Amino acid sequence: MTKIGIILGSTRPGRNGEAVAKWVTEIASRRTDAEFELVDLADYPLPHLDEPMSAAWGNYQNDHTKAWSAKISEFDGFVFVTPEYNHSTSGVLKNALDYLYAEWNNKAAAFVSYGGVGGARAVEHLRLIASELQLATVRAQVAISLLTEFKDFREFTPSDYLEPQVDTMLDQLVAWSKALAPLHAAPATADADEVEETVAA
Ligand SMILES: Cc1cc2nc3c(=O)[nH]c(=O)nc-3n(C[C@H](O)[C@H](O)[C@H](O)COP(=O)(O)O)c2cc1C
C-alpha cells in the first residue's frame, strides 16, 4: 500500500499548524488509495544540523538522524504542512529536510500552507528546495488564509471550499507517489559519482 507522510512543519508553542495538519489527516484518512500518517516534527527533535558528512552520503552518526531517516524511509510521498515565516518556510522544516537526502529522492510532494497570503511564498521556496532533493512536487496545493480561515488568527475554522482542494491535491500526490515507487523501491546507497555531482552542484 502506498504510504504518505503528512509532515507538520511547525513546532512553535501555540502553533496553528497542528490544527491544519490534523484537518488534512482527517480528510486523507477517508481515502482508500493510500495510507496516511501524521508526522509531527515536535516528535523528532533535531538540533541544528550536526552531522559531519553531507546527507548525500547517507552515513549518519547520530541517533536522532537515524530515527528521522527510518521514519522518512517508510513513505512514498509527503504532504508538507508549512507556515510562512518571513516569506519562507519554517527553519525547523528546512533543517529536517537538510538532514536527509536519499530518503526524499524519487518521491512525490504536495503542500498545504497558511499565512497572510495563504503561505504562498513559503511554498514557492519549498518547491525549489524539493527539486534539489529530487522530490517531485504536484501542482495542486492548498493555500489557507490566516485572515479568513482562522478566528482571531488562532482558531482554525476552514471554509467548505477548502476540502475539495485537499482531495484534488491528494489525487495528484497519490498518483505520482505510485508512479515513482519503482524508482525509490531500491535501498538507497551512496554512489560516489552521484554524491560528488550533488556536492559540486
Ligand atoms: C517568525 C514569524 C514570521 C512570520 N512571517 C510571516 C510572513 O512573512 N508572512 C505571513 O503571511 N505570515 C507570517 N507570520 C505569521 C504566521 O504565518 C502565523 O503566525 C502562523 O500561524 C504561523 O504558523 P504556526 O502558528 O504553525 O507557527 C510569521 C510568524 C512568525 C512567528
Residue 82's closest CA among 94, 72, 90? 90
**In this structure, are strands 150-151 and 155-156 parallel, antiparallel, or unpaired?**
antiparallel
Do the beta carbons of residue 153 and residue 116 sit within 8 Å?
no
Judged on CB neighbours under 10 Å (0-12, 13-18, 19+), 197 is exposed
pLDDT value of residue 123: 98
In angstroms, rounded to a whole number, what is the distance separating the alpha carbons of residues 184 and 122? 27
Please name each of the domains of the chain with its CATH number: 3-200 (3.40.50.360)
Instruction: Give whole-number Cα distances, 169 to 63, 77, 174, in Å.
Output: 34, 12, 9
Confidence of residue 64 (pLDDT cuts 50, 70, 90): very high
CA 90 to ligand 1 center in whole angstroms: 9
Task: State whether residue 7 is helix, strand or coil.
Answer: strand
Inform me whether the pLDDT recorded for 63 exceeds 60: yes
The pTM of the full predicted model, rounded to 2 decimals, is 0.94
Which residue would you say has higher pLDDT here, 184 or 38? 38
CB-based burial label for 2 (10 Å; 0-12, 13-18, 19+): middle
Q: What is the pLDDT of residue 185?
A: 76
Is the C-beta atom of 141 inside 6 A of ligand 1?
no
Asked if 111 and 131 count as a contact pair (C-beta separation under 8 A), the reply is no
**CA–CA distances in Å: residue 176 to residues 34, 64, 77, 105:** 12, 29, 8, 13
How confident is the model at residue 112, as a pLDDT?
A: 99
The pLDDT of 106-125, averaged and rounded, is 98
**CA 137–ligand 1 middle distance (angstroms):** 23
For ligand 1, say whether the CB of 76 is within 6 Å of any of its atoms: no
pLDDT at 200: 62
**Strand 142-145 relative to strand 150-151, pairing:** unpaired
Q: Verify whether ligand 1 is closer than 6 Å to residue 115 (CB atom).
A: yes
Q: What is the pLDDT of residues 154-192, one digit of tens each?
A: 999 999 999 999 999 999 999 999 999 999 876 444 555
Least confident residue range of 7-16, 31-40, 187-196: 187-196
Q: Which amino acid is at 114?
A: Y
CA of residue 81 relative to chain centroid, distance? 7
